[in-house]
Amino acid sequence: MTILQEINKGKEFEFLKRISEEEDVPVEKIKEELITGKAVLCFNPFHKNLKPIIIGSHFSTKVNVNIGISPVASDFEKEKEKVRIALKYKTDTIMDLSVGKDASSFRKWLIYEANCPVGTVPIYQVANKFQNIEEANFEDFLEEIEEQAKEGVDFMTIHAGFKKSHIPLVEKRKLGIVSRGGALIYCWMKRRDEENPFYKNFDELLDILHKYDVTISIGDALRPGSIIDASDDAQFAELKTIGKLLKKCKERGVQAMVEGPGHIPLNQIEENVKKALRICKGAPFYVLGPVVCDNAGGYDHITSAIGATLAAYYGASLLCYVTPKEHLGLPDLDDVRAGLIAFKIAAISADIAKGKKYALKIQEEMAEARKNFLWEKQFSLMLDPERAREYFKEGITEEGEFCSMCGPDFCPMRITK
């Protein structure tokens, strides 16, 4: 029996009370949002040390971190450290995007180590097993999905909305397909001249996800990877298909999220988010960025955090972080930290604008601490206390009623005090 079925039957869960207190939302409202499909828990009972969280536009904006083994530039131990950094700075979810020989081992370790929901893209592992993706049959995809579900993966990105009929639309683009999973599905369809197996056999796929209570994150294989391709026919054709697939998810009792666009100019973000929420009946919208300009290499955690703030304000529920290394290489420890903090800023900035009580309370406490020069209290409220404390101490030999910017004689708060 899935978590939704148990909630429907009136079973009480202690973690719902905790979520209610953290989110300042009544338990009954949480249940309503879950049952209507406007929120998800990402709760696989095989993930033993999981601390469930709720994802939905009615709740605090959440942030996801992407981690994973690369076949050319990373190793197991380095990725472990990245996970520890992500957990230290309070990521809400972690997606394992591993490819390469150690991918399976790393995933198992991650599920054991992380107490937050863990997501994967199962087609990556299938691609590891076959030299050419078109050699895989649908049974191979299902086998991998079930194996990962048994291990405790909480949510899976599956690119089921990309249909064979969309191919001519995407081939008109300036940049084409930038989704790794989308590119694999494209090759599979082109080389076999067949329909997307996830779309064609969606009911069978849902049977597996329902059995293990895994949330599906319907991937946007045709997300634009260039501002030039933003909001095009290919992107919205896939979105309409995703909207239809969501009806099947609801009928089958499978929790579902929808993944959103990557590169979108600032003036199109409102339209994109609201359109997705309308077509998908309010299902949680999970966005990568969006990146709002294409030529800021080395600083894409900033370009995307700008877009993420606006997307969250208009209703996106889960923000997938972007690091300074986006488009350039595999992120290191500092990149993971910078990307996560940038997106935590985006999330709380949107929540402040939406009037979320937890976010406003932090701002009020910060004002009081600054007014009274309570430095340690200030640091404890900050998203990266260590960095704040480090910067403060660079120019000050002892704590007082000033910092090194103004000194004791020009600090406006000290003067007025």
On the question of pLDDT at 176 being above 90, the answer is: yes
DSSP state of 165: G
Average pLDDT of the segment spanning 44-53: 96
- Rounded to 5, what percent of the chain is helix, strand, coil? 55, 10, 35
Residue 339 token pair: 């990307």
CA separation (Å) from 167 to 182, 245, 343?
A: 11, 19, 33
Residue 336 — pLDDT band, cuts 50, 70, 90?
very high
178 vs 160: CA distance, rounded Å:
16
Average pLDDT of the segment spanning 186-212: 98
91 vs 88: CA distance, rounded Å:
8
On the question of pLDDT at 398 being above 80, the answer is: no
Tell me what pLDDT residue 19 has. Answer: 97
Contacts of 26 (CB under 8 A, 6+ apart): 20
Tell me what pLDDT residue 248 has. Answer: 98
Tell me what pLDDT residue 408 has. Answer: 86
**DSSP per-residue letters across 350-384:** HHHHTT-HHHHHHHHHHHHHHHTT-HHHHHHHSSS
Query: pTM of the prediction?
Result: 0.96
Q: For 221-245, write each residue's pLDDT tens digit.
A: 999 999 999 999 999 999 999 999 9
DSSP state of 219: -
Tell me what pLDDT residue 100 has. Answer: 80
Tell me what pLDDT residue 349 has. Answer: 98
Average pLDDT of the segment spanning 20-48: 96
348 vs 8: CA distance, rounded Å:
32
Tell me what pLDDT residue 396 has. Answer: 79
Average pLDDT of the segment spanning 150-171: 98
Q: For 303-330, write each residue's pLDDT tens digit.
A: 999 999 999 999 999 999 999 999 999 9
Which of 74-88, 131-145, 176-190 shows the lowest mean pLDDT across its residues? 74-88
CB 116 within 8 A of CB 15: no
CB 277 within 8 A of CB 285: yes
On the question of pLDDT at 67 being above 90, the answer is: yes
Neighbour-count burial for 91-120, b at 16+ CB within 10 Å, e otherwise: bbbbbbbbbbebbbebbebbbeebebbbbb
Which of 23-37, 219-233, 403-417 shows the lowest mean pLDDT across its residues? 403-417
Tell me what pLDDT residue 365 has. Answer: 98
218 vs 159: CA distance, rounded Å:
6
**DSSP per-residue letters across 171-209:** TTSSS----HHHHHHHHHHHHHT---HHHHTHHHHHHHH
Q: For 274-283, write each residue's pLDDT tens digit.
A: 999 999 999 9
Tell me what pLDDT residue 101 has. Answer: 78
Which residue is it, tokens 């995703």?
242
On the question of pLDDT at 74 being above 80, the answer is: no
Tell me what pLDDT residue 70 has. Answer: 84
**Mean model confidence pLDDT for the chain:** 96
Closest to 120 in 3D by CA, of 85, 165, 157: 157
Say what percent of the chain tops pLDDT 70: 100
